[in-house]
Amino acid sequence: MMASRWRAEDLGDSPDLALQAAWALVSARIVGRSVGALSAEASLRDAESWFLGTVRTPASLSEEVAAFADLDAVRSLEKIGYDDEFRDLLPYVLDSIGPGSRASVLRNPAAGDSRRARKASGVFYTPSDVAEYITGEVLSEVDEAVACPKLLDPACGSGVFLKAALDAASLRAVDGARFSFVERCLHGIDISPLAVEAACFVLLRECIGSEERLEASPWSLWHRIRCNFRVGDALGFCLRPPRANGSLALAELREALDRSYVPPALPNEEPPKEGDPLFSRGTSLGDVFPGLAAGADIVIGNPPYAAVGSGRDVAALERRFASATAGATERSDCYPLFVEMMWRLARRDSSSSGMVVPLSIACSRRAQLVALRRAIAASGGRWRFAFFDREPHGLFGEEVKTRNAIVFRAERRGLDVSTSVETGPLRRWTSRQRDELFTKIDFTRLRGTAIARGVPKLAGDEPAAVYAALSRRTERLRHMCSDVGSCLPSETGRTDSRARVFVAGTAYNFLSIFRPHKSLPPQRAPWSSSKVLALGFRSEEAAARAFAYLGSRIAYWLWHVSEDGFHVTRSFVLDLPLTDGICDARREAALADCGARFWESLQTQQVVSVNGGRQTVTYRPYGSEELRDEVDALLLDALGIEPSFGAYLRSFAHRVITVDERDPKRRLVVQIQAGGVACSA
């Protein structure tokens, strides 16, 4: 009864009929209660009667769920408070996978199955403020002459972005005709039938709960909305001319839905098969959504953070997506292909798109992500990247600790078709700053910086200019190394005469670097089995200089700008543009002296930690700020960078560590870590 009346769908591994019927009945009752059409005593059968109105269907949903305890279900549903706050939560309430937060799992261990299901499919809640920010930014880029921009969410889930778009558009120029806007403008695709049905119920509630007077039954309105949704894989769609203009047929179908029962659509032709040229090219978006025949004005959403998987034809994807051409396999990431939809399914020369994706889009060196960034650079339009760390607070909340990027693309007719890229810093914030997080996001234009190797995370024109200048240098730290290897932390004591510097594979508020320990610290647990990078040098003086380079705030800033804020990659360390090649003999001697004193100072700041039953040792540099000032000043002078940039580096390090200046607890932590002296701003 809930299948599409517009186009037949291959539902694949859809849930059994009883489960679908149960979800539909529960959703109908929730919506009916939310808009005041049903009382607290209403049964699921009452909900079905309200939903159908005067429409007579050949089968009953309530008959399919006769085995369910109707009274118990109603009692559970009455635990919900049907108020304005509930309206905002409806997309999450109707999500069929269920709760997946860490807190919910702690309260109810059975909810762990929901979290595991989400992780396996790469599906996580998009917080409403994230969806509202993205839709607001995207709509602001649409030509004001477009009164009803056509929007597509290719991984719509339960409709979080579509609801946010409807709310934002209502403020723009919908004039109260919310249902008309939904029919004309909002489209969604998802592989889950239950997700598609939930999204339709969310939009139905938004329409019948508004001031708009709607005469048709909820069933008719729901199915009219359902015509704008497709159960299927969005990766199978492309922009090519539709076989016929379906707008008139769709309009006639919607009129028929207002009058009486219409049966589900039936397949009218054989689907394309492998070997058919159409298979490689994909299904025409216009054949399924006539309003999107020329492409969507807006492509928006939160794609799955999962692998392509075995259910897709990887060879066909390779022929259609640039980010699938670099040796694509079933293990390749799925989300880069969705990013390509930001221009592949968008209207040519006039579109605006936005997606929230993993931070790897900016910094991963894997071939697939390099290919994606090359495709972005070749796609044209204005690209903007906003970056978000996972600590102290994550963009998706405490339940999903991920590092993310919000990516925007805009293309306007008559403007320069070449690609421009704007970026921002890797943002950290506390939960108390969340309300203002999206009001303070701005962007810095990159000039002369290629993005194939990565999108740098920069804030301000001066840092962007310094980064561009350093990127052009050919001298690298690898050039002064006599050997490069790795070893276990337990092997980093002074057991031989080699001049070495060690770099741990992860970092946060400082790069974890050290020389051979004078003596290994007391062992509280087995040593960590994660190897550290071991750099060998021809002399102690060279090793001391390298230690100064790596311990500088310039190195920490470059790491923050080019990496993910956690991992310290071998390529980053070896490609660091701080090396003997930039210094004369006088500066080399001064830097060797600084490096030796820096290591002596760090001996008093040793921290032994036990995580996961394994021991690690680090050396906090907070008590060596004056020495770092010396190193930064020598390096800036050698590089020909204005001395004032040293003040920026101090301020940058302070902001990254403190995060929230207004939080006295965080200020105190910084002071304690610095041995009673806070980092100078």
Structure tokens at 548: 């100064």
- For the chain, report the end-to-end CA distance as a whole number of angstroms: 64
Preceding amide of 522 cis, omega within 30: no
Q: What is the DSSP code (8-state) at residue 679?
A: P
Pairing state between β 420-423 and 444-445: antiparallel
Average confidence (pLDDT) over 6-23:
78
Structure tokens at 571: 């390529």
- Only one residue has tokens 């906003």, namely 386
Closest by CA to 442, choosing from 459, 428, 464, is 459
Q: Is 640 exposed, middle or buried (CB count within 10 Å of its CB: 0-12, 13-18, 19+)?
A: exposed
Q: Is 490 helix (H, G, I), strand (E, B) or coil?
A: helix
Structure tokens at 33: 């209660």
Average confidence (pLDDT) over 350-360:
96
Residue 278 has pLDDT above 50, yes or no: no
Residue 382: predicted pLDDT: 94
Q: Is 501 helix (H, G, I), strand (E, B) or coil?
A: strand
CA 135, CA 408: separation in Å to the nearest integer? 10
Least trusted range by pLDDT, from 61-70, 123-132, 351-360: 61-70
Strand partners, 189: 230
Q: Is 107 helix (H, G, I), strand (E, B) or coil?
A: helix
Residue type, 491: E
Residue 277: predicted pLDDT: 47
> b or e along 304-313 (b: 16 or more beta carbons within 10 Å of the residue's beta carbon)?
bbeebeeebe
Least trusted range by pLDDT, from 329-343, 354-368, 468-482, 517-531: 517-531
pLDDT tens, 112-141? 444 444 444 445 579 999 999 999 999 999
Q: Is 612 helix (H, G, I), strand (E, B) or coil?
A: coil
The CA-CA-CA angle for residues 576, 568, 430, to 5°, reads: 115
Structure tokens at 93: 């309430």
- 104 versus 268: the higher-pLDDT residue is 268
The CA-CA-CA angle for residues 244, 345, 284, to 5°, reads: 25
Give residues with Cβ within 8 angstroms of 167, minimum separation 6: 132, 135, 206
Q: H or E element: which one contains 16?
A: none
Q: Is 532 exposed, middle or buried (CB count within 10 Å of its CB: 0-12, 13-18, 19+)?
A: buried
Q: What is the DSSP code (8-state) at residue 410?
A: E
Residue 117: predicted pLDDT: 46
Neighbours of 238 (CB within 10 A): 16
Residue 314: predicted pLDDT: 83
Residue type, 335: Y
- Only one residue has tokens 């999450």, namely 92
Structure tokens at 259: 């009058």
CA 646, CA 553: separation in Å to the nearest integer? 9
CA 355, CA 305: separation in Å to the nearest integer? 12
Say what the alpha-carbon torsion angle 183, 189, 195, 198 is, to the nearest 10 degrees.
0
Structure tokens at 19: 């489960």
Which segments of 325-427 does DSSP mark as H helices, in order?
335-344, 360-363, 367-379
Identify the sign of the CA torsion 49, 50, 51, 56. Answer: positive
| Banded model confidence at residue 413, pLDDT cuts 50, 70, 90 | confident
Reported for 599-604, long-range contacts at CB under 8 A and 24+ positions apart, including other chains, are 599/514, 599/515, 599/544, 599/547, 601/627, 602/514, 603/518
Neighbours of 571 (CB within 10 A): 12
| Banded model confidence at residue 666, pLDDT cuts 50, 70, 90 | low
Residue type, 669: V
Do the Cβ atoms of 3 and 24 come closer than 8 Å?
no
Q: Is 399 helix (H, G, I), strand (E, B) or coil?
A: coil
| Banded model confidence at residue 383, pLDDT cuts 50, 70, 90 | very high
Residue type, 548: A
- 15 versus 260: the higher-pLDDT residue is 260
- Only one residue has tokens 């969705």, namely 338
Q: Is 352 helix (H, G, I), strand (E, B) or coil?
A: strand
pLDDT tens, 487-542? 999 888 866 667 999 999 999 999 999 999 877 777 889 999 999 999 999 999 99
CA 196, CA 564: separation in Å to the nearest integer? 34
Domain ranges of the chain: 473-645
Average confidence (pLDDT) over 471-491:
94
